[in-house]
Chain A
Amino acid sequence: MRRQRILALVKKEFITVRRDFSFALNIFILPLIMLVIYGYGIRFDIQYLPTVVWDLSQTPQSRDLVEKFFASGYFRAAGMVDGYGQIEERFDKGKAKLALVFPTEFGSRLARGEKTAVQILVDGSDNNTATLAVGYASGIVRGYQADLVVGKLVQKGIRLPFETPVLTEESRMWYNPELKSVNFIVPGIIVVIMSMMGTVMTAMAIVGEKERGTFEQVAASPLSGMEFLVGKIAPYILLALVDMILIVAAGYLLFQVPIKGSFALLFLFALLFVSVTTGLGLWVSSVSDSLQGAMTLAFLVTLLPSILLSGFIFPIENFPAALKALTYLNPGRYFIEALRGIYLKGVGISVLWPQAAFLSLLGASLLGLTLLRFKKRLA
Chain B
Amino acid sequence: MGITIEARNLVRRFGVFTAVDGVSFAVQEGEIFGFLGPNGAGKSTTIKMLCGILAPTSGELWVGGVDVRTYPEEAKHRIGYMSQKFSLYEDLTVWENIEFYAGIYRLPKESKGGWMEKMLALSGLEEEKHRLAGDLPGGYKQRLALGCALLHDPPIIFLDEPTAGVDPISRRNFWELIAQMAGKGKTIFVTTHYMDEAEHCDRLALINNGKIVAAGTPTQLKERQTGVLLEVATLQPIRAFALVRRELPETNPALFGSLLHVSLSDRAAMEERLLELFKNENITVDSMSAISFSLEDVFCQVMGPGGTVGV
Question: Residues of A with Cβ closer than 8 Å to B?
Answer: 2, 4-5, 7-9, 11-12, 15-16, 19-20, 212-224, 376-379
Contact = CB atoms under 8 A, between A and B. Distances in A.
Contacts of A19: 91
Contacts of B38: none
Nearest to A18: B91
B106 to A, nearest CB: 5
Given A220-B51, A222-B104, 16 more contacts: A4-B106, A8-B99, A9-B100, A12-B89, A12-B100, A19-B91, A212-B87, A213-B83, A215-B87, A216-B87, A220-B81, A221-B104, A222-B105, A376-B53, A377-B53, A379-B14
- Chain B interface residue number, banded: 20 to 34
Nearest to B97: A12
A214 B91 CA distance: 11
A219 B87 CA distance: 11
Interface stretch (B71-79, B203-211, B218-226, B297-305): B71-79
B20 to A, nearest CB: 13
B88 A217 contact: yes
A224 B54 contact: no
A216 B92 contact: no
27 contacts: A2-B106, A4-B106, A8-B101, A9-B104, A11-B100, A11-B103, A12-B92, A15-B92, A212-B87, A212-B90, A213-B86, A214-B89, A216-B83, A217-B81, A217-B87, A217-B88, A220-B76, A220-B79, A220-B81, A221-B76, A221-B104, A222-B73, A224-B73, A377-B52, A377-B54, A378-B53, A379-B14
Nearest to A16: B91
Nearest to B148: A217
B96 interface: yes
Given A217-B83, A379-B55, A222 B92 contact: no
Interface in B59-114: 72-74, 76-77, 79, 81, 83, 85-92, 96, 99-106
A220 B84 CA distance: 13
B96 A15 contact: yes
A12 B96 contact: yes
Given A2-B106, A5-B103, A20 B91 contact: yes
A379 B48 CA distance: 10
A214 B87 contact: yes
Nearest to B109: A4
Contacts of B85: 213, 216
A4 B103 contact: yes
B103 A8 contact: yes
Contacts of A379: 14, 54-55
B283 to A, nearest CB: 48
A223 B89 contact: no
